[in-house]
Amino acid sequence: MKRLAVTLAVLAALAVARAEDGAPLYAQKCAVCHGKDGKGSPVGLKMGAKDLTATKLSEPEIAKVIESGRGKMTAFKGKLTDAQIESLAKYVKAGLK
């Protein structure tokens, strides 16, 4: 039982670390349109960028949008690794924190 608790604690810590890894990637790839705060930059709003702080999408749905793009949003499949896409999805789902 103790081993299970330790394993779960390690997995939780890794999940938090992965979301944190999304921050610099978000700043580099996403903030230009979605803004630092996720509410949309002036340029992004003109192109229809969504307010990421109000998204109801699940983490897998967010990852799919990052992979495939949506509207005028660039598709990042082949430009980012699966791990990077997952990291960004976690970061967005966590409220950009």
The count of structural domains within the chain is: 1
Mean pLDDT of the chain: 86
Residue scoring higher pLDDT (6 or 62)? 62
Domain range for 75: 2-93
Q: Who contacts 39 (Cβ-Cβ below 8 Å, separation ≥6)?
A: 51, 52, 53
CA dist 86 → 36, 64, 90 (Å) = 19, 10, 6
Can you give the CATH number for the domain in which 32 is found? 1.10.760.10
Q: Is residue 72's pLDDT more than 70?
A: yes
